[in-house]
Structure 1
Amino acid sequence: MQRSLFLIGAALTLSSCSMMSRAADPVTITLVGINDFHGNLEPTNFNDVMIPDPADPTKQIRLKAGGIEAIGGYLNQERAKNPNLLFVGAGDIIGASPITSSLLRDEPSTIAMTQLGMKFSSLGNHEFDQGLKELLRMQNGGCDSNDTAKACKFENPYPGAGFKWLGANVVDKTSGQPVFAPYAVAEVGGAKIGFIGAVLKGTPDIVSPDGIKTLNFLDEAESINKYVPELKKLNVDAVIVLIHQGGQTKDGFSQPACGTLTGPIVDIVKKLDPSIRAVISGHSHKGYNCLVDGKVVIQGDYYGHLLQRLDVTVDKANHQLLKISAANVLVDPRTLPADAAMTAILTRARTLTDAVKQTPVGTLASAAISRTNNDAGESALGDVVADSQLAATAAQGAVIAFMNPGGIRADLTASAAGNTATFGDLFTVQPFGNTMVVMDLTGAQIKAVLEQQFSNPQAGSTRILQVSKSFAYSYDSTATQGSHVDAASIKLGGQLVDPAKTYRVTMNAFLAGGGDSFAVFKDGTNVLQLPNLADVDTSVTYLKANPGLAGGAQDRITKTK
């Protein structure tokens, strides 16, 4: 059955029965939230909704959802119904973005969010991808960028974000003071709504360390609770948390009041001040609408596929929250009107980037190469990316390449005729612009790196590195810490890797700096930085050299248990 309703699922409603000291003066505020937008100005495939294929109605395809034109259309439509509407974010508004935004330093995305009326957003880990200085420029404006080839090309000078990024738990190491505003208050319809923002405390483990070396990321719940008394002194009528941390649930995004949410966000919410009744979350790229200890906890998938909608009724006279209705909203471009101002932004961004984006690079054996992992954690595209990086650094003596799976952001899909992949297709897979690094590691250090895959603190999960051809090993996921990988299985070219021997190894600069908690890489020796060789460039060269490129066989990593 086709699903194309704007509002999917019954609304979740919470009510307050508190005694009021004065005659009630209620007003309803509509809060619309977005998380993990990642500069996706255009609609993208939404995995959770299938529709008939226009070319063949007997087949089903994924709905293309989101995009700033449809988001703007929805906001315009709802503002006409209730002018007391606030648009907010839960982090990763920018970073890891497609070429249409990223090639312009994500300035079109911040300008779009500004024109859409965004008031506040929590910081996300990807806001820090280019370092603190560049993030401050994104907030405040100007052209003093660490990438002048991209900055101020969309609008000169770049005006800065018209919304505030909030970060209660991001503080300067020296002063201990927040670097961004920890909270903010919006006055709408005579009501005062307080917002506190936070990002996951594990951010240093998943962004390049050099860019945030002056910052500390503190406990999320403690930092949020610290500012609740300050907001109460301002007589706010409700306190809403915007946080870039999330979880997952077996229930669908349209299931109201789900009670099966798990993950880091649950522990955080359970520690929050009782006066906080709603949490707009992000980071885990899941759609859910749940209750945790009586608090609404909601997330809207990613890339703007879903918007979180909270209709919040407050009593202005007594500064009390009376009722919350919560639901996820499907952003369906087929049924929502396009916002003309957003069309203008998208058109200009395309004009500035299409020539680069549409440059053909080479052909694939099929329409796409998947980044989906097998049971061992290896993907067909991960094999290709690692092989590309090894080939690009063979002249520097490299014999093994490691790639972090989080750096592979999408399947490699050929967008041009004849299964031809363009530069834009490759850039979508690797949008970070990480440069390559080659270093010496001993066999013992390589074993230690492989063990660190199972001690990653993020979400209690493993991070299986993608590895290049001729390198292989097996692991037991049930083994004790430090003993997951069978030392006798670690082989290069069929030969046992010698713990005492030195091997030349390639990875991107993120991993080389200890990203994703792979600290062993920081102990490498004879380190060679390749500042003129970006990760996407290695894929471009490899695809050109291998027409009809197929995905890897996913036979390099073996999971025994």
Structure 2
Amino acid sequence: MKIRQIASAIALTFAFTGAAYAGQTVNVKIVAINDFHGQLESPGSFRALPTDAFGTVPVGGIDWLAGYIADIKSKNPNTVVVSAGDLIGATPLVSALFHDEGTIETMNRAGLEINAVGNHEFDEGKDELLRMQNGGCHPTDVNSCQGAAVGTPVPFEGADFQFLAANVIDKKTGETLFPSYIIKEYEGVKVAFIGMTLKETPTIVTPSGVAGLHFKDEVRTVNRLVPKLRALGAKAIVVLIHQGGVTPTTQSVATINSCDGNLDGSPVKTIVSGLSNAVDLVISGHTHQAYNCKLATKNPNHLIPVTSANSQGRVFTDIDMEVNKLNGRVKSVTAVNVAVDRGNAGITPDADIAQIVNNYKALATPIANRVIGSITADLTRSASTAGENVMGDVIADAQLAATKEAGFGGAQVAFMNPGGVRADLTFTSSTAGEGDGNVTFGEAFTVQPFGNSLVTLTLTGAQIEEVLEQQFVGCPNGQTFNRILLPSTGFSYAWSATGPACDKVDPASILINGVAVDPATSYRVTVNSFLADGGDKFTVLAQGTDRLGGAQDSDALEAYFKANSPVAPVALDRILLLP
């Protein structure tokens, strides 16, 4: 009897202690996205497995993302929704035509609370970015302030959430463009969020977009803020940074929580390694990758979660931060990347948000049907045996034309990634009735819908050869299939399918305007901003120097059609496959 009483007393003691301990902590739920890029509608399907040839899981759409957020908030009132930059800029037609006002409006309704600026927030310049925060109509474009037609306030309401820009300084005032941080309080516990963009933003944005601004070092910015935040009572610190890394894993639902390669050699790993040990979590972006890592801060034994959630609303990161109420310190952080699966029966998409998107789409239709030029025959993505295709070549020609003048980059060659060529241009009229041979703005936008900006950079001839070798399976950059870049007119080379890995290209065959490329000579090369950052595993392009940002890729294509119509299919003779 006494033994049972003692055992019961011990059990009660443990139960009481556990309950008391549980009452000493608060669970803060953080829902994080990055690189949304105004993808109001679904971007399509996502691979289920990295070995899948194409996507099979329908994902994304702001109405579905809002549904997931609402479901999470219903289970934990201590929830905050954050973004690590590029919320706007480089957006699809349904957002871009209206200066991304629809993205801001729907994010307000989805519950976003914080957005760290990314490089693409600066695409239209400082004043336009301030308008995104503060509201009001665009000073010149009549497509702005469409609230009466779409069901939102007039004038444009601006962001209910807070933009953060800890390392972006207005040279005129000496102050940050937006606040450096925001402190949220949950059951008496203060959590600080610092927001930053990459310090290299001026190198990948058009000069007018960052005029009058200075971008400071990320590590020094955070570390100087830590004592101030501590003095304000915030001992839990989250960094939202628009800079990231790349994993050597093909993006898929099955791999979104991997950290293969541990982000070795990446900018974000370098940044994290210099951060104060007071930082508890880093939410990153920029590289359009999904990863879930643990990286060391200044103390090599202090590992913190570093996350990223792919792009365009395909994925979000579900983070649980357990904080001690007594001392305000973080007890644990657990992060899981989750696909925004449109087939999830447990989630109800937000119908009001969907209606706003549909209303914007209806407004965009007549603009999308505007004729910008013409073609003499189909421009398709059908590849030659060497991997070349007409549509990609024409895009590369357009990008070279937009950047060849000295003041716009002085480009000598342009390369287009094949994955960025999303559709053909067909000679036969579409259902819009523009007429055979005519090309509409909407059709051209569908061909390359990502809204990337052009970047002209300097590579040596040896680096150009290395870029070409990185197209093929077997090199250390880890292509899972041959990914042949589409070159602009005047550039040519030959490669062998039977050649050894990293030695498939004949160096003597690499020509620019008929002249052999010299390994030691520097050349000006134009690519889109995705490739410029090492996208599609073209890591050498990320090493390019003397970068100059340029026009949006869609604007360059439209200008090319206006100047060269009717555009005829080019001969597929720029890339030769050796026997």
Aligned to 1:424: 442
SS in 1 for 2:113: strand
Q: Pick one of 88, 93, 96 that aligns with 1:99.
A: 93
Aligned to 1:260: 262
| Amino acid in structure 1 at the alignment position of 2:363 | L
Matched, 1:470 2:477: no
Q: Which range moves more in the overlay, 204-213 or 69-78?
A: 204-213
Aligned to 1:13: none
| Amino acid in structure 1 at the alignment position of 2:352 | A
**Structure 2 counterparts to residues 159-198 of structure 1, below 5 A:** 159-198=157-196
Alpha-carbon offset, residue 406 of structure 1: 8.2
Alpha-carbon offset, residue 222 of structure 1: 1.1
Alpha-carbon offset, residue 70 of structure 1: 0.6
1:367–1:157 distance in 2 versus 1, CA, 3 Å = same
Aligned to 2:285: 282
Aligned to 1:212: 210
SS in 2 for 1:535: helix
Q: Which range moves more in the overlay, 25-34 or 170-179?
A: 170-179
| Amino acid in structure 2 at the alignment position of 1:299 | S
Alpha-carbon offset, residue 530 of structure 1: 12
Aligned to 1:9: none
Matched, 1:152 2:172: no
Alpha-carbon offset, residue 32 of structure 1: 0.2
Q: Percent identity?
A: 32
1:474–1:122 distance in 2 versus 1, CA, 3 Å = farther
Aligned to 2:422: 412
Contact kept, 8 Å, 2:399 with 2:557, in 1: the verdict is no
- d(CA) in 2 for partners of 1:530, 1:330: 32
Alpha-carbon offset, residue 347 of structure 1: 1.2
SS in 2 for 1:201: coil
Alpha-carbon offset, residue 304 of structure 1: 0.7
Contact kept, 8 Å, 2:138 with 2:145, in 1: the verdict is no
- Cα deviation, 1:80-100, whole Å, max 9, x if unaligned, reads 111221100000000110000
Aligned to 1:303: 312
Aligned to 1:31: 30
1:491–1:246 distance in 2 versus 1, CA, 3 Å = closer
Aligned to 1:117: 111
Q: Pick one of 311, 322, 332 that aligns with 2:331.
A: 322
| Amino acid in structure 2 at the alignment position of 1:264 | P
SS in 1 for 2:330: strand
Alpha-carbon offset, residue 409 of structure 1: 8.6
- d(CA) in 1 for partners of 2:441, 2:509: 40
- d(CA) in 2 for partners of 1:300, 1:392: 32
Contact kept, 8 Å, 2:452 with 2:528, in 1: the verdict is no
- d(CA) in 2 for partners of 1:259, 1:488: 34
SS in 2 for 1:225: helix
1:30–1:358 distance in 2 versus 1, CA, 3 Å = farther
Alpha-carbon offset, residue 543 of structure 1: 9.5
| Amino acid in structure 1 at the alignment position of 2:290 | G
- Cα deviation, 1:297-353, whole Å, max 9, x if unaligned, reads 111111010001101111223211122121001101121321022112211211111
- Cα deviation, 1:342-389, whole Å, max 9, x if unaligned, reads 11221121111123335687788587579xx97xxx886542113346
1:355–1:321 distance in 2 versus 1, CA, 3 Å = same
- d(CA) in 1 for partners of 2:25, 2:307: 24
- d(CA) in 1 for partners of 2:416, 2:279: 32
1:521–1:328 distance in 2 versus 1, CA, 3 Å = closer
Of Structure 1 and Structure 2, which has the larger fraction of its residues in helix?
A: 2
The answer for unaligned runs of 5 or more in structure 1 is 1-21, 54-58, 438-445, 476-484, 499-504, 523-528
Aligned to 2:14: none
Aligned to 1:441: none
1:430–1:405 distance in 2 versus 1, CA, 3 Å = farther
Contact kept, 8 Å, 2:91 with 2:449, in 1: the verdict is no
1:290–1:449 distance in 2 versus 1, CA, 3 Å = closer
| Amino acid in structure 2 at the alignment position of 1:127 | E
Q: Pick one of 384, 389, 394 that aligns with 2:394.
A: 384
- d(CA) in 2 for partners of 1:327, 1:422: 42
Question: RMSD of the alignment, in Å?
Answer: 4.7
- Cα deviation, 1:164-198, whole Å, max 9, x if unaligned, reads 11111111335543221111112234432210011
Contact kept, 8 Å, 2:48 with 2:56, in 1: the verdict is yes
- d(CA) in 1 for partners of 2:134, 2:48: 38
Aligned to 2:534: none
| Amino acid in structure 2 at the alignment position of 1:195 | F
Contact kept, 8 Å, 1:381 with 1:412, in 2: the verdict is no
- Cα deviation, 1:283-307, whole Å, max 9, x if unaligned, reads 1111111110210011111101000
Aligned to 1:442: none
Matched, 1:313 2:322: yes
- d(CA) in 2 for partners of 1:409, 1:46: 14
- Cα deviation, 1:190-212, whole Å, max 9, x if unaligned, reads 43221001111111111111221
SS in 2 for 1:285: coil
**Structure 2 counterparts to residues 440-455 of structure 1, below 5 A:** none
Matched, 1:72 2:72: no
Aligned to 1:292: 295
- d(CA) in 1 for partners of 2:39, 2:571: 26
SS in 1 for 2:445: helix
1:36–1:534 distance in 2 versus 1, CA, 3 Å = closer
SS in 2 for 1:118: coil
Matched, 1:340 2:333: no
| Amino acid in structure 2 at the alignment position of 1:25 | Q
Contact kept, 8 Å, 1:29 with 1:188, in 2: the verdict is yes
Q: Pick one of 114, 117, 125 that aligns with 1:131.
A: 125
Alpha-carbon offset, residue 138 of structure 1: 1.3
Q: Mark the structure with the bigger radius of gyration.
A: 2
Matched, 1:545 2:566: yes
- d(CA) in 2 for partners of 1:406, 1:273: 40
| Amino acid in structure 2 at the alignment position of 1:131 | G
Q: Which range moves more in the overlay, 246-255 or 200-209?
A: 246-255
Of Structure 1 and Structure 2, which has the larger fraction of its residues in strand?
A: 1
Q: Pick one of 81, 84, 90 that aligns with 1:87.
A: 81
Alpha-carbon offset, residue 236 of structure 1: 2.0
- d(CA) in 2 for partners of 1:29, 1:227: 22
**Structure 2 counterparts to residues 495-534 of structure 1, below 5 A:** 519=546, 534=555
- d(CA) in 1 for partners of 2:276, 2:403: 52
- d(CA) in 1 for partners of 2:37, 2:179: 22
- Cα deviation, 1:204-229, whole Å, max 9, x if unaligned, reads 11111122131121111111111111
- d(CA) in 2 for partners of 1:282, 1:77: 24
SS in 2 for 1:413: coil
1:367–1:497 distance in 2 versus 1, CA, 3 Å = closer
SS in 1 for 2:71: helix
| Amino acid in structure 2 at the alignment position of 1:191 | V
1:25–1:425 distance in 2 versus 1, CA, 3 Å = farther
- d(CA) in 1 for partners of 2:102, 2:269: 34
- d(CA) in 2 for partners of 1:167, 1:213: 16
Question: What is the number of residues matched between the two proteins?
Answer: 480
1:540–1:434 distance in 2 versus 1, CA, 3 Å = farther
The answer for unaligned runs of 5 or more in structure 2 is 1-20, 148-152, 297-302, 431-438, 468-476, 478-483, 496-505, 519-523, 530-540
